[in-house]
Amino acid sequence: MATEFLTYLDDRLAPGAEQLNRRARRVATLAGRLLKASTAGDVRTVETTLRDLQALSLEEPLKAVAGAAESFDYRKYLADGFGADFEAACREAALPLEGYFPTYFVFPLAVRVDVENPSVLINRRRVGMLRPSEVVNAIREERDRLERSPFNAAEFLGALFKVWDNMNAQLSAVNQVRVRQPQPLKQVYRELVPFGRWRRDYPESFFAFDVQRLLLSNELRLNGWQCELERGRGGANALRLIDHEGQERLIASVNFVEVGE
C-alpha cells in the first residue's frame, strides 16, 4: 500500500515533472537546431524554429510542478511519518535495523535523519533522497563500499597482537610475574585508537566490523601465535558483530597462544 509520501511523489509530483522534462527536451532540441541554422545562415529554418520555440512555453508545466511541490509539507512528514515508512522499507528489504527515529544503526553504520536539513546521514555521507527504498539502497551501497575497501588481515592481526602484548607487559610489570592472558577487545580498541578525533574516523563499530572481517578471513595465525577471539555473554563488555541476516555475535576478548611454526 502506497504511503502518503509515495502518493505525493508518484501521483502528484512526478507527472508534472515528466511533462516538464519532455517539454524541456523539445526546447533543447529546437535550440540546437536554431544555433546550427543561424551558424549556417539558414534563415528559413531560423524562422520556423523560432515559431516552434515560441509555441513551447515552459510556464504551464513549471507552474504545475511548483504547485505540487508546495502542496506537501515534507518537513512535517520527515518528523512525523518518515520513521515508520523507513522502518517498513528496511523490514521489506531484510535490512537489519536497530534504534529509533531519528537515530538508527545498521552494522557498522550510524544512520541519522536530519529533519532541519531534510536528508539522511549514513556514516558521514549525506543523502538527499528521502524515498525510503532509496535510503535503504544508499545504506546497502555504503555497507558494500566498506566491505570492498582494502583489508589486510595480517596487518590487522599484527596490530591486535602488538596491543595485546603491550597490555600483558604492563600487567606483568605491575604483578612482577609474567602475564599472558586474554584482554578485553573494547580496551584493545581504546589502546589502538587512543584519541577522540581518531575514533570519530574509526568508531568502535568499524573496529568490530574489521574483527568480523578477520574472523571471515580465517587468517588467525601470526608468527607462531594463534589468535583466539573469545565470545562474551553480555553486550556491555563485548563487541557486537552483526551479519547480513541480522544474526548477532558477541566477542569479548582476544588472546594469543604460542603454537609454533
Position 158 scores a pLDDT of 94
Position 2 scores a pLDDT of 60
Please tell me the distance from the alpha carbon of residue 137 to that of residue 246, in angstroms, as a whole number.
Answer: 17
Position 234 scores a pLDDT of 66
Q: Which residues of the chain have pLDDT under 70?
A: 1-2, 234-235, 260-261
Q: 256 Cβ partners below 8 Å, 6+ apart?
A: 161, 164, 165, 180, 222, 225, 226, 227, 228
C-alpha grid cell, residue 45: 529554418
Position 89 scores a pLDDT of 94
232 in Cβ contact with 240 (< 8 Å) = no
247 in Cβ contact with 240 (< 8 Å) = no
138 in Cβ contact with 122 (< 8 Å) = yes
- Asked if omega into 182 is within 30° of 0 (cis), the reply is no
Residue 252 to residues 116, 120, 158: CA-CA distances in angstroms?
A: 39, 32, 19
For the stretch 147-197, pLDDT in tens is 898 999 999 999 999 999 999 998 888 877 787 888 999 999 999 998 888
Please give the biggest Cα pair distance in the chain: 100
Ramachandran angles phi, psi of 41, nearest 5°: 75, 25
Per-domain residue ranges for the chain? Answer: 1-72, 74-148, 153-258
For the stretch 201-214, pLDDT in tens is 899 999 999 999 99
Quick check: pTM over 0.85?
no
Position 1 scores a pLDDT of 47
